[in-house]
Amino acid sequence: MTTLQESAPSKPLRQPVFGIGTIAVVAGLIAAFAVPVLADDYWLSSIIIPMVIMGLAGIGLNLLMGYTGLVSIGSAAFMSIGAFSTYNLLLRAPFLPLPVVLILAGLIAAIAGVIFGLPALRIKGFYLSASTLGAQFFFEWLFTNFSWFSNDSQSLTISAPRLQILDYDLQSATGRYYLVIATTALLIALAFAIVKSRVGREWMAIRDMDVAASVIGIRVAHRKLLSFGISSFFLGIAGALWAFGYLGTADAHAFNLDKSFQILFIVIIGGVATIFGNFLGAAFIVLTPILLDRLSLVIDLSFLGDQGALANLQHIIFGTIIIVLLIKEPDGLSSLIKRGVAALRPQARSSG
Amino acid sequence: MTNLLDLHDVSLSFKGVRALNALSFSVAKGEICALIGPNGAGKSSLLNVINGVYRADAGDIVFDGLRFEAIHPQKAARLGIGRTFQHNALFRRLTVRENVLVGLSRHGTASFFENIFRLGRDGAERHGFVARAERTMSFLGLARHAESIVSTLPYGLQKRVDLARALVSGPKLLLLDEPMAGMNQEEKEEMSRVIREVNRVFGSTVVLIEHDVGIVLNLASHVVVLDYGRKLADGAPDAVRKNPDVIAAYLGTIH
């Protein structure tokens, strides 16, 4: 290798210290922390907080599905593990600070993810998705049939014993928002670090051509299980935030198959193998039903039928929008926005 | 000369169809060995057995002093067996640079934790990988295309990326499955020159499959002719060219 006559032009690999990326990150953080000033409690509690958490869950599934090419329809199961672990850790180990509890809950979900990822070493595609469905049903059953997990509460529900960091109470809408947004910001940074590392590159290699990845010497089995673990770590923390940062009180059915499908839609609508795209997908999933709701208040549709029929009509419209979107923009909203930005920059070079 | 690769009575069948029939031959260290034979002669199957994609029914293989009957593809890669594919098996949504970087996976020393958090051994690994990838890309004339997504490149360049991905890890043995398929005469000559350079500069022993007998007889120092999973001839290009069995079965019908 060292005897090559031609030496490669060594390009600087690092961006300048204050690149566009850095400025965007700083602006994004400032905007994120300013949100409670502009939004009232309703917007924070009912729209922004669930949107951010679902986007975070989308990142979790996207690491597995978009980057490693392993489809799962059991995402909500790992969210429930995170939620129930957080509840039990806060209850049974009260000396642990909240950030430590969230990390531990994520790690517990990660272990479960690795175990339920084992079938991925043998099967692919639809068969694998069917086996992730097993996780979905197993954990819903576990948390409804063994009341130890909900501290023997009659209703089998869990509610946050305390939500505080260093005596700072996080129970208010603003407090919960800061908990959610700070956790999410850190996990976004982690997600970027992962996909830009050797691990992320090897995941994408496995996704694109797994035989070639193996022939090259990538430890395919290890990387697939790692992907299940890391994906479930994100989902577990998202689940804890969903239960205590958004719902306040939750039971196992808050993490049912419906939720798993919502996360799947977020990934597909937002854009496969993207990080920020998940938040576009989450915004779509959370906002569209609300918009349709408002619309039905403005336009009188009572001639179409009673309330129940109208609710079904909303579902039909929602589904139609998803179908149209996926036909027009199969790479998701993030690629729509990318092309929009490129179109606004007339001199921009098309990326190869 | 010592042998880098020895095959002893290797057999392989698919649902009763014999792909390889008690095949034995040796590849000397440092040579360019060509496998020729009509379609279905078992050439690609043979490469797949050598690097563990297929498992032989019988026989054994000695590579670099290590004897095995079957090997896992990842183990083969770790031992230093590199491989390109007949039908491009590139990571199509990654850039050229990323494809080449992934080719270095077998040299990875850092744990996933170090990789993700850029700790410990990650820094040295990252810099080492990038330097090796850049050298290999400029060696194969790919430096200009480093940032291009592989699936957007023309076929000939993709073939080169495939070669770069296998070459970058410094394999002892390089298995090339039809590296010149679909190329015109000029491109084939160019690819021949590149393969000769690879063999000379990187010191990799090369086993390649190619249909163009004219090109093969010029490039290879050792030719093995296969027909229906059996070895028809084995030797220096000139000897093989004059072998009556080969003329009857193969060469005569094409040129």
B238: domain range?
A: 1-79+208-255
Residue A215 pLDDT > 80: yes
State which H helix or E strand residue A175 sits in.
helix A173-196
Which residues from chain B sit within 8 angstroms of residue A186, using beta carbons?
Answer: none
pLDDT at A141: 94
Residue A7, exposed/middle/buried by CB under 10 A (0-12, 13-18, 19+)? Answer: exposed
Q: How far apart are alpha carbons B169 and B83 in whole angstroms? A: 11
pLDDT for A67 equals 96
Cβ separation of A273 and B202 shorter than 8 Å? no
In a domain, B178, yes or no: no
Q: Which residue of A has its CA nearest to B170?
A: A1
Tens-digit pLDDT profile for residues A281-336: 999 999 988 888 888 777 776 666 677 777 788 788 888 888 888 888 888 888 88
Contact flag B202-A1 (C-beta cutoff 8 Å): yes
Closest partner residue to A201 (CB to CB) among B101, B110, B138 is B101
Does the beta-carbon distance from A352 to B110 stay under 8 Å?
no
Domains of chain A: 39-160+169-344 (1.10.3470)
Q: Are residues B122 and B100 in the same domain?
A: yes
Q: Is residue B132 less than 8 Å (CB to CB) from chain A?
A: yes
Q: Within this chain, do residues B34 and B74 fall inside the same structural domain, yes or no?
A: yes
Going through chain A in order, the beta strands assigned E by DSSP cover 158-159, 164-165, 168-169, 249-250
Residue B180 lies in a domain: no
B151/B163 same-domain check:
yes
- Please report residues of A whose CB lies closer than 8 A to that of B139: 4, 6
ipTM of the complex: 0.91
pLDDT digits (tens, 9 = 90+) for A234-291: 999 999 999 999 998 888 999 999 999 999 999 999 999 999 999 999 999 999 888 8
CA distance B79 to chain A (A): 10
Provide residues of A within 8 Å CB-CB of chain B.
Answer: 1, 3-4, 6-11, 13, 190, 193-194, 197-199, 201-202, 204-205, 207-209, 211-220, 226, 273, 351-352
Task: Kindly determine whether residue A199 and residue B170, on different chains, have CB atoms separated by under 8 Å.
Answer: no
Residue B195 belongs to a domain: no
Give yes or no: residues B66 and B4 share one domain.
yes
Q: Which of B153, B170, B187 is the last residue of a domain?
A: B170
How far off is chain A from B216, nearest CA to CA, in Å?
25
Task: Specify if B142 maps to a domain.
Answer: yes
Q: Which residues pair with B177 in a beta bridge?
A: B209
Whether residue A14 has pLDDT greater than 80: no
Cα end-to-end distance, chain A, whole Å: 29
pLDDT for the residue A331? 83
Same domain, B85 and B140: yes
What rounded mean pLDDT belongs to chain B? 90
B2 and B38 housed in the same domain: yes
A-chain CB neighbours of B106 within 8 Å are: 216-217
Q: Which residue has the tokens 């260290």?
A: B29
Q: Tell whether B101 and B134 lie within a shared domain.
A: yes
Q: Give the domain-ending residue among B170, B193, B222.
A: B170
Sign of the Cα pseudo-torsion (A68, A74, A75, A77, in order): negative
Decide if B165 and A216 are in contact by the 8 Å CB cutoff.
Answer: yes
pTM: 0.89
pLDDT at A12: 45
B30 and B1 within one domain = yes
Give pLDDT, residue A346.
63
Asked if residue B181 belongs to a domain, the reply is no
Q: What is the pLDDT of residue A5?
A: 39
Tens-place pLDDT, residues A152-189: 787 778 887 777 777 777 778 888 999 999 999 999 99
Cβ neighbours of B5 (radius 10 Å)? 21
The answer on B47 and B6 residing in a single domain is: yes
pLDDT the model gives residue A198: 95
CATH number of the domain within which B166 lies: 3.40.50.300
Q: Tell me, yes or no, whether B34 and B72 share the same domain.
A: yes
Q: What is the DSSP letter of A66?
A: I
Residues of B with Cβ-Cβ distance to A187 under 8 angstroms? none
B179 to chain A nearest CA, in Å?
16
Residues of B in contact with A13 (CB under 8 A): 130
Tens digit of pLDDT for each residue in A97-118?
999 999 999 999 999 999 999 9
Same domain? For B85 and B143 the reply is yes
Question: What is the enclosing helix (H) or strand (E) of A287?
Answer: helix A277-298
Inter-chain contact A193–B116, Cβ cutoff 8 Å?
Answer: yes
Residue B14 within any structural domain of the chain: yes
Q: Taking CB atoms and an 8 Å limit, are B89 and A1 in contact across chains? A: no
Domain boundary among B122, B155, B170: B170
Local confidence band at B197 (pLDDT 50, 70, 90 cut-offs): very high
Rounded alpha-carbon distances, angstroms, from residue B116 to A51, A75, B185, B205:
27, 23, 46, 35
Number of domains within chain B: 2
Strands across the sheet with B58-63, in order?
A: B17-28, B3-14, B58-63, B66-68
Q: Where are the alpha helices (DSSP H) in chain B?
A: 43-50, 73-79, 96-102, 112-117, 122-139, 155-167, 185-197, 213-219, 237-242, 244-246, 252-254
Enter the tokens of residue A43: 């917007």
Confidence class of residue A2 from pLDDT cuts 50, 70 and 90?
A: very low
Q: What is the mean pLDDT of chain A?
A: 86
**Residues of chain B contacting residue A273, judged by C-beta atoms under 8 Å apart:** 93
Question: Within a domain: residue B176?
Answer: no
Beta carbons of A79 and A257 less than 8 angstroms apart: no
**Confidence tier at B202 by pLDDT (50, 70, 90):** confident
With left for phi above 0 and alpha for psi between -120 and 50, is residue A329 left, alpha or beta?
beta
Across the interface, whether the CB atoms of B93 and A198 are under 8 A apart is answered: no
Residue of A nearest to B86 (CA): A212
Same domain flag for B63 and B36: yes
Percent of chain A surpassing pLDDT 90: 50
Distance from the Cα of A41 to chain B's closest Cα (Å) equals: 36
Q: Is residue B202 part of a domain?
A: no
